[in-house]
Amino acid sequence: MSPKVERLERKVELQDYKLGALLEVTRAINARASEEDLLEHFRHTLAEYLGIDRLVLYTSISGEWRCMLTTGVEGALPPVAASTTFEEGQRVTLNSTAGEEVFDVVVPVKQDQEVLAYVLAGDTKEGVGVSPVVKHLNFITTLTNVLVVALHNRRLSEAAIRQEATRRELELAAEMQALLVPTEWPEDPDVEVSAYYRPHREVGGDYYDLFPVEGDRLMFCMADVSGKGVSAAFLMSNFQANLRAILQTESEDLERSIRMLNERVMSNARGEKYITLFVARYDRKTRQLMYINCGHNPPLLMGPDGTAQQLVNGSVGLGMFSEIPSVDLGEVTIARDSVLVCYTDGLVEQENEEGVPFGMQRMERLVRERRGMEVGQIQSALLEAVEDFRGAEPTFDDTALMLARFR
């Protein structure tokens, strides 16, 4: 066989190999092969068969260059700054921990004018003739484009799937929360109630409730989970179920109820979150309000004569300690036409454009001035005052508010 025929056969064989390699990587992509397997196929194709034995692949992930593959490089390469660009076809020298690493050519991978990756390729062996990098440059470019664009699109697809899952999770959490937070109150001859809730995001971790227990008594609850979003909402939904179950059966002993709730929060949150809680039991016959404030913003009790009292007795927040150190049970006699204002920190800690919080004093003054109004009107006036106060300053937290007038 003549040398010319042999060269032609080798050329045809090489072309067949390149086509087969492209088909193989395409099949692997379609079969959802792992990123590690695809990169190994890429390395093997270029290094083992074509003799391109010095390779580095940088890809752009979340705006940063990440080294995805190195072969033929003796030392560890330094990080590449996000602002770094390489010129197509240029010779590049990188300083590794073992010394200088020289690459003969740079191959950029672009999609819609955006550079997705750079391949740095070179030879470690000095030889006669045309360098494999130069000889197979078109194939290197094609194979790299197929691989990198597929991986980029896969990341985009996975991100879209995660985003959709998050959106659905938020929808479910919002639906669940809407079921947990009361929006209407039954007519009660002894207590007039109005409440409001606005999560900072789609869902939040604030909660309020009012329900009857045995002995012609009412339970008032206002709670706030540390943190925001879905995790806070799910913890609060679990807490609400436990709270109702425990207080329905242990209403006679508020301290015991609080200690049981603390155990549940510790078990569910595992020390990563805590819950502040105000819980009170109102006896219609004696007009006594027994309460425990577990690290929550102190509710305001406004008397018919304008005398204000903050309900501060209680304990630390739930989930802060495996066992609550001490509980100070509060008790107050409720005069007719007194107004109880329960709220979360999103209300009084809302800042204006100068960084000044709305504060307890402003709330107390407003409630005192409007204490003769219906609680729904007091609530509207209070929310409007907070909105006017914050101006262009954005809200930063969930806001819950519950008012009750004792007749």
pLDDT value for 2: 67
**280, β-bridge pairs:** 220, 291
In degrees rounded to 5, what are phi and psi of residue 381? Answer: -65, -40
pLDDT value for 150: 83
Of 275, 392, 280, 296, residue with least CA distance to 331: 280
pLDDT value for 128: 44
* Domain 181-406, CATH among 3.40.50.1580, 3.60.40.10, 3.40.50.2300, 1.10.10.10: 3.60.40.10
Distance CA 194, CA 378 (A): 9
Cα angle 294, 298, 300 (rounded to 5 degrees) comes to: 140
Q: What is the CATH number of domain 3-161?
A: 3.30.450.40
**351, β-bridge pairs:** 357
pLDDT value for 27: 84
Q: Which residues contact 261 (CB under 8 A, 6 or more apart)?
A: 239, 242, 243, 246, 277, 318
Matching fold, domains 3-161 and 181-406? no
Distances (CA, A) of 184 to 81, 117, 166, 210, 245: 57, 57, 30, 11, 21
Collapse the DSSP code of 377 into the 3-class scheme (helix H, G, I; strand E, B; otherwise coil) and give the result: helix
Of 175, 165, 140, 145, residue with least CA distance to 45: 140
Domain spans of the chain?
A: 3-161, 181-406
Collapse the DSSP code of 259 into the 3-class scheme (helix H, G, I; strand E, B; otherwise coil) and give the result: helix
Q: Which residues of the chain have pLDDT under 70?
A: 1-12, 14, 17, 124-130, 166-167, 169-180, 201-204, 228-229
pLDDT value for 326: 94
